[in-house]
Structure 1
């Protein structure tokens, strides 16, 4: 007869082979105490399980010992993060994660493995870090933290971003570094966010993470110390504006490759490929930066080409030069002139089309004879979208019919295709492509600045006109057809979020929030594409073949194993999102610009 004590054998995760810091040992004991009893009564209000022994009993009664044993073996064979490994090495905590996986219906080997890794990085990890941080603070005579004090608002983000070590002698210095950051920048973080929320002169979407970090660096350099009463009076607004201008100027001087033409300074590409969303794992073959750059390229394709922003900006420059667009001297006129003068130095529509085709297999651009087109990307992207839509469909069916045992709800296929996309994009987004996409994004931002200027929006309907209405109105007048801007914006923004999922993916560190964001983004992206294409999306194409061995070499130029997969009706065709570039229509072509 199998007993709860014998279940411990199938829950035996190897502890990390490091010397634990005393703080880590004490924190682990505290988390284990919570999972002994309190966890079950707090988490589940409708089940009879109240202790860890009850959870172990479920493993026996539901005949899950074989599955759990295999999951344990797989986890022991995986290079886990030290903290995750430490938490799972506690049978008390591990049993709780198994029970959570069971409750969500993950009872096969792959889905239970993934569920355990998701759950352990949520409540257990948060509690563990909180315990370690608190223990160090107590030893430093910080007996309480006033969460009402604004400087502490960044505590959770700092711990989540950097984590805490568990190796002997490393915990206290890590906590001290966080405390130093809070004391030096805590209030600045808080009031910067407050300033961004209340000011109206600058579009909040301009405050990207990189811009905010540069602003904070500048505020620290200026030794700005904020008094709440003075802040409420607006006394510090000038410092925030100064820091913003500094951050913007620094970004402009150092992040646009076109400036190489006008500067003798060495160029270092510092842009992190995060894009304007219109709202305020690594191994040697996977390059996160390459994948993010590919995502930025896809964004440029959608906004610049499909939405025709590049074409519209060129048309506005021509109208202005011809005297048909009356723009007074000022920022907009300067932007138009700068756009015109830099045009000969920017990538041509044909060069951009070549890059889209080579890296993403999008559009009808012509490539050079020695260039390899990433034809595998289309297959893999469609497979990822299809697997996510299938997952959504099955989870909805499970929720409605409560037949999870028959529905086969698993995210393993999603993980497999994501990994193949990591290899594919890492292999193809190489060479000069990083500088090209950085330049093209700056070019796009210049075009958006012109179209979104008060002068242009006033000319085409008034300042109350939105950016999107202005784009549609100009496109209708210039090209005879208005793009569906809201739909294309969704393709650009949610598509970029999918690329971020691919770039940040680590099978052993997927959080539920990340996975939920993927589901949301894919669903929005599919609905947008259905709207744009006017046809229903087929969410269930042919299944993937068996997964390759994790250490085996990849197949094909892009590392894709699935080159034989059929693109069925509803999947992306080569001519999806076709666009007429200005070089072919004559609007804004080199010849026409040369005439004036």
Structure 2
């Protein structure tokens, strides 16, 4: 409520903080992950919450009074829509922690734009994750009655952060790492102290994880015993062993070292357990992420541009404007329509797009150029992946011990698609995908123009999607299933991009759950399209007409 100040005529705010408190009741709310946290994660969160809760309400009030309510709302929506890891989402879902981070970013660091706040919140939450896992480790060790002096907590924490265990199953991976580090004792701490000296005798930049691990294995193999006192009060008695271990580790990591000659050297190399290289990383598998990203974008373009009909709806709007059936006043909107019209000959045609859809995704019956091959394997591989996903979810939901269900069939299906799209999304199609996406964005701009929406939209919630429905109905006698196609485009793109980034060697339980969630949403959208195909989708005659050359010649 605002009132006039009788002395100087300025406007004052009365009770503004209480009004805003009511207004922003949900603006600090981040959706919690779907996973149920285990007791160790709950304990760690409780410790962090207790530290932040003391000043939580005061910091919240400061943010509100400073006028950042709407900005925080935008950041919260951005976070809720993002695919952040469940651990970070779990932390931010606790309001006291989220408010503490926002207070730090906005009022202390002075970052006020939405994207800047979002990026910095992510960074600080990652930093908070270190403290979270530190508390979880302590709780697991207490619960298992493990002596904290028997293992390097710092080394353990480093490994836990790398593994990033799921919040619903922290105990097993932490105990496994403790067992792995148990034999090393405090050797990792000694190595850290060696590289952290005020005046280091060796280059700290060479202290990679591989070098440290190699040094630790050597020092353990020679039976070095390290006490906490030796770390707190360093002396020169370990220096000779440390320098020798460092020299051997550097030598071993050198690319110029001949593995055959190493067999005959008298230096230590007792770490090989006769395992062989299985080329499990995506780089060694020959996976090209960029090619798969291009396929993901191509699917998005096809689903929104041609299945939903954004391309042809934009063309119909341009035609109506050209014929005088759509009245657009001179200004920015008319300039956009004119630019779109003038560049019509430069844009891809329906036939060209359909040809690339067939080449990469094996969709449709488009005619292809000589020696251009359709990716017929993709349809089968995609179907197998969807079946394996459904099968895994069914087994997981019905199993007494879900942790023992094998992910191997799903992983193999993912790899098969990675290989397939790596080899098939190559050549000119990547350049054309960029052009098609630019074309799609130009068409969307036309449909989003407020003047166009006001004239062609209908209902109390006028939008671009309503324009698509109305123009499709009036011009093509067909109303597409906007909701299902929009979801299919977004979830299908997410799914293919997830597949591009998939690396069996580093995927966590959290990542896998995220993948299942995306795949499930995509399957649901596909089932909606099949169910409504007779009523809402394009029938065969309409698809033939869409591919007809006469419908894409811009003959005004």
TM-score (norm 1): 0.48
Change (3 A) 1:89 1:384: same
Distance 1:349 1:94, change over 3 A: closer
- Is residue 421 from structure 1 mapped to residue 420 from structure 2 by the alignment? no
Q: Distance in 1 between matches of 2:447 and 2:394?
A: 40
Contact 1:475/1:481 (8 A) holds in 2: yes
How far does the alpha carbon of each residue in 1:6-53 deviate from its partner, in whole angstroms, 9 at most, with x for none? xxxxxxxxxxxxxxxxxxxxxxxx99x9799724267xxxxx744389
Q: Who is 1:505 aligned against? A: 502
Paired position in structure 2 for 1:25: none
1:524 corresponds to? 521
Residues 1:166 and 2:261 aligned together? no
CA distance in 2, matches of 1:283, 1:576: 44
- Relative distance call for 1:336 and 1:103 in structure 2 (3 A) is same
Q: Distance in 2 between matches of 1:34 and 1:320?
A: 64
Alignment CA distance shift 1:378-1:577 (3 Å) = farther
- The answer to whether the 8 A contact 1:35-1:93 is kept is no
Q: Distance in 1 between matches of 2:342 and 2:136?
A: 70
- 1:434 lines up with 2:477 in the alignment: no
Give, in angstroms, the shift of residue 285 of structure 1: 2.6
8 Å contact from structure 1 (residues 282, 288) kept in 2: no
Regions of 4+ moved over 3 Å: 33-37, 48-53, 86-90, 92-98, 100-104, 164-169, 461-464, 575-583
Unaligned runs of 5+ in 2: 1-129, 149-154, 182-188, 199-206, 213-281, 534-538
Asked whether 1:584 is paired with 2:548, we answer: yes
1:513: how far off? 3.0
Gaps of 5+ in 1: 1-29, 43-47, 54-85, 105-115, 125-130, 141-163, 170-280, 537-574
Instruction: Give runs of aligned pairs for residues 107-126 of structure 1, distance below 5 A.
Output: none
CA drift of 1:515 comes to 1.4
Pairing 1:180-579 to 2, within 5 Å after superposition: 281-283=282-284, 285-398=286-399, 402-404=400-402, 409-461=405-457, 464-534=461-531, 579=543
Distance 1:282 1:586 in 2: 46
How far, CA to CA, are the matches of 2:158 and 2:457 in structure 1? Answer: 65
Cα displacement (A) at 1:364: 2.1
Q: Is the 8 A contact 1:457 1:465 kept in 2?
A: yes
1:256 aligned partner:
none
Distance 1:576 1:387, change over 3 A: farther
Q: Is the 8 A contact 1:87 1:94 kept in 2?
A: no
1:344 aligns to what SS in structure 2?
helix
What's the CA shift string for 1:197-228, capped at 9, x where partnerless? xxxxxxxxxxxxxxxxxxxxxxxxxxxxxxxx
Distance of 1:525 and 1:95 partners within structure 2 = 28
2:244 maps to none
State the 1:342 CA deviation. Answer: 1.2
Note if contact 2:163-2:508 (Cα within 8 Å) is conserved in structure 1. Answer: no
Question: 1:134-145 residue pairs with structure 2 within 5 A?
Answer: none
Instruction: For 1:428 and 1:39, locate their aligned partners in 2 and report how far apart those are by CA, in whole Å.
Output: 50
Aligned residue in 1 for 2:146 = 51
Per the alignment, in what secondary structure is the counterpart of residue 385 of structure 2?
helix
Q: What per-residue deviation string (whole Å, max 9, x for no partner) do you get for residues 157-196 of structure 1?
A: xxxxxxx953679xxxxxxxxxxxxxxxxxxxxxxxxxxx
**Larger radius of gyration, structure 1 or 2?**
2
Q: Distance in 2 between matches of 1:333 and 1:415?
A: 51
Superimposed CA distance per residue, residues 402-428 of structure 1 (whole angstroms, 9 cap, x where no aligned partner): 2548xx622111111111111100100
CA contact (8 A) 1:52 1:96 kept: no
- Aligned equivalents of 1:313, 1:397: Cα separation in 2: 48
Contact 1:37 1:52 in 2 (8 A): no
Give the TM-score normalised by structure 2. 0.51
Counterpart of 2:58 in structure 1 is none
- 2: CA distance, partners of 1:95 / 1:356: 38
Structure 2 residue matching 1:359: 3-state secondary structure: helix
RCO higher in structure (CA 8 A, sep ≥6): 1
CA distance in 2, matches of 1:376, 1:438: 24
Supply the distance in 1 between the matched residues of 2:541 and 2:507 (Cα, whole angstroms): 32
The Cα of 1:102 is off from its aligned counterpart by 11
State the distance in 2 between where 1:52 and 1:533 align: 59
